[in-house]
Chain A
Amino acid sequence: MGILDIKDVGKRFGGLQALSDVNLNVEENTCHAIIGPNGAGKSTLLNCLIGKLIPDSGSVMFDGQSVLGRTPYEINQLGISRVFQTPEIFGDLTVFENMMIPIFAKRDGAFALDAISDFMSHKDVVEQAENELEEMNMADKRHMHAASLSRGDKRRLEIGMCLSQQPRLLLLDEPTAGMARADTNNTIDLLKEIKEERDITIAIIEHDMHVVFSLADRITVLAQGTPLVEDVPEKIKGHPKVKEAYLGESA
């Protein structure tokens, strides 16, 4: 059994069967990509994983615990860190402050009323934030406002913030959507680096096949709400069913 275990998940919106019989297993310390054409149910599946939607049937277990019906912060505390389609960072704060927040959260839990100490006096947090920025090659940008970073750097910061919490699962939702070619390649390189250097499980939901081929250990192709095939990237590439799903019958 994998670390993320999706079993018989089905979800219906009125007359639309968005998901049906989704069975999916993400093994620990692998990178698993879920791809599919528009309307395949990727976003619905993602929303089921993060507690935003509760499926009509089936279960989603993370490391033996159900994630269904949990609030975002509880999901995070289970060890799932989420990277959003458009980078979600604290734009009004500096890069360094951005990096400190997840580290505080990891150390102090969901709520800590420390209204008196200076936040820079927490040496352990400061040190870890410095290390993480170093790792992300962003140490020189630490005093910048996060909102003024480039799109690629925002993504880099967001991923760094997620990694600083040492999550067991990094969940990425179309991490390169809307990015220029150079930023896309940078992000892919960064993810490869993370995969090699850290013991982490990565799940990517992606529309663009090319982004995940060089990255994923396993790929699940979703079409019309059900997994079509699941295999290693090499086999997915030429698979007739996948071609059909992406390009239509004539191909």
Chain B
Amino acid sequence: MLGLSKKDASLLITVAVLVALAPIFLNPFPENSALSQFNAGYPDLMQRFVIFGIFAIGFNILFGLTGYLSFGHAAFLGAGSYAGVWMLKLLTINVIPAILISTVVAGLFAILIGYISLRRSGIYFSILTLAFAQMSFALAASVLTPITGGETGLQTALNDPRILDGANEGGNIPAPNFFGLEMGDSLQVSFAGWLWTFNAGYYVSGIIMLISFYVAIRIFRSPFGIMLRAIKSNQQRLNYTGLNTRPYMLACFVISGMYAGLAGGLMVAMDPLAGAERMQWTASGEVVLMTILGGVGTLIGPVLGAGLIKYFENIFSKINSNLLHKWFSFLPDGLEDFVVTIIYPFIGKGWHLTLGLMFMGVIIFLPGGLVELGQRISRSLSKNKNDAAEHKPAE
């Protein structure tokens, strides 16, 4: 199907089904239940799942295939975001030109940074990309204020030209839309206590994520992809095999940067606001965590990692001490306080601590990330099955 092998096609279909049904299964708890706290099926978060999924898929094309660890990928996310907002301001509030231009701008930016950074490999490459991203961040926050809006950020305004849209009559700042379908539009369905929100912006992002995922599969299986894996494995041999690795690396870096730009463009298409903090090194670090947590070099890993981190960021950080007291109110008073005191540093603002511990656990016990966890589980399940099958004839 679509030029994919059976295995890849079924993976793509699985992901497509999951994306389509996410609003339902991400809300497993009824609206008024005590656990509705853990529901993740609201538009804002679901949009972030798929957008950061795109970011991580693109990062993985660079890091997973070639082993080059870029520590400055947020620069492309930010560049894409700014380009996207400018498109929304100047051309039209329709999201399509914004998304396209953010991808292109990030690609051009990646050519510049990649051309210089790729003169080095290993840790020096990481440092160079980090330096570029921090420079971009500093520029965006100060010198380039006329273009980037400085520390307040760049957003759409009532008096933007929007030359394709004609006169603005409503008196409100128009919301980004896809040929009239506003990104904020949602269809809410209530069913026996459950509340499901089907959001237009989420589905636009989701479809673009599926396309990105499909393209990533094709890249992984292409001659280009195999050369990238060869670069990771033994660059010297590849050079002596008659291949010039430099343009391969640059092409890969640019593709990866374009994915980041696309994610940035989608972010502003959902919420037309771009700030310099999007380029900061913590944002670059986050995508590294996502990829490693999910599984470096695997197809689905980065998407899972992005989902997990965004889930923690949004759900864990919302748990506060009142809620903890409520949960543990069945314990005797002294014990309740004690348990809450122990758990408290790991939730709310302390969710980074939980993330850090999880990251350490994955690095030490599951170097292949969540994908390896899945493989181990399915292997032990099938082993049990085989054992059972082997035992039967003996009976």
Contacts and interface: CB of A to CB of B under 8 A. Distances in A.
Interface of A: 50, 71-73, 75-77, 81-82, 84, 88-93, 97, 100-102, 104-106, 108-120, 122, 161, 165
B244 A101 contact: no
A59 to B, nearest CB: 22
A110 B236 CA distance: 14
19 contacts: A50-B240, A72-B236, A76-B240, A76-B241, A89-B237, A90-B229, A92-B229, A93-B233, A102-B241, A102-B242, A108-B223, A110-B242, A111-B247, A112-B223, A114-B222, A115-B218, A115-B255, A118-B222, A161-B241
Contact of A88 (B232, B234, B244): B234
A112 B243 CA distance: 9
Nearest to B234: A90
B395 to A, nearest CB: 35
Interface in B230-255: 230, 232-234, 236-244, 247-248, 251, 255
A123 to B, nearest CB: 13
A111 B222 contact: no
A62 to B, nearest CB: 14
B242 A73 contact: yes
Would you list the 8 A-B pairs with minimal beta carbon distance, nearest first? Answer: A76-B242, A72-B239, A115-B224, A90-B233, A110-B244, A92-B233, A88-B237, A105-B242
B218 A91 contact: no
Contacts of B248: 111
Contact of B223 (A84, A104, A106): A104
B248 to A, nearest CB: 7
A113 B251 contact: yes
B40 to A, nearest CB: 34
A99 B271 CA distance: 49
A118 B221 CA distance: 5
B227 interface: yes
Contacts of A110: 242-244, 247
A129 to B, nearest CB: 12
B221 to A, nearest CB: 5
Contacts of A82: 240
A72 to B, nearest CB: 4
A248 B220 CA distance: 58
- B223, B226, B240 — most chain A CB neighbours (10 Å): B223
A71 B237 contact: no
B283 interface: no
Given A73-B239, A105-B243, A119-B226, 19 more contacts: A72-B236, A73-B241, A75-B240, A76-B241, A90-B238, A93-B230, A101-B226, A104-B227, A106-B242, A108-B223, A109-B242, A113-B224, A114-B222, A115-B251, A118-B5, A118-B218, A119-B225, A161-B241, A165-B241
A47 to B, nearest CB: 13
B26 interface: no
B273 interface: no
A73 B242 CA distance: 4
A82 B226 CA distance: 21
A4 B255 CA distance: 42
A88 B234 CA distance: 7
A248 B221 CA distance: 58
Contacts of B236: 72, 88
A115 B244 contact: no
Residue from B222, B230, B241 with most neighbouring chain A CB atoms (10 Å): B241
Given A91-B234, A92-B232, A115 B222 contact: yes
B3 interface: yes
B208 interface: no
B219 interface: yes
B255 to A, nearest CB: 7
A50 B242 CA distance: 12
A247 to B, nearest CB: 35
Given A90-B230, A93-B229, A111-B247, A72 B240 contact: yes
B221 A119 contact: yes
A115 B225 contact: yes
A110 B246 CA distance: 10
A115 B219 contact: yes
A101 B241 contact: yes
Nearest to B243: A105
B250 to A, nearest CB: 10
A56 to B, nearest CB: 24
Contacts of B225: 115, 119
A117 B243 contact: no
A71 B239 CA distance: 8
B170 to A, nearest CB: 44
Contacts of B238: 90, 101
Nearest to A164: B241
B223 A114 contact: yes
Contacts of B218: 115-116, 118
B103 to A, nearest CB: 16
Nearest to B244: A110
Contacts of A72: 236, 239-240
B226 A97 contact: yes
Contacts of B233: 90-93
Contacts of A106: 242
B240 A117 contact: no
A105 B244 CA distance: 10
Contacts of A91: 233-234
Contacts of B247: 110-111
Contacts of A112: 223-224
Contacts of A84: 237
Nearest to A81: B240
Contacts of B241: 73, 76, 101-102, 105, 161, 165
A93 B231 CA distance: 11
A93 B226 contact: yes
A110 B245 CA distance: 8
A114 B251 CA distance: 11
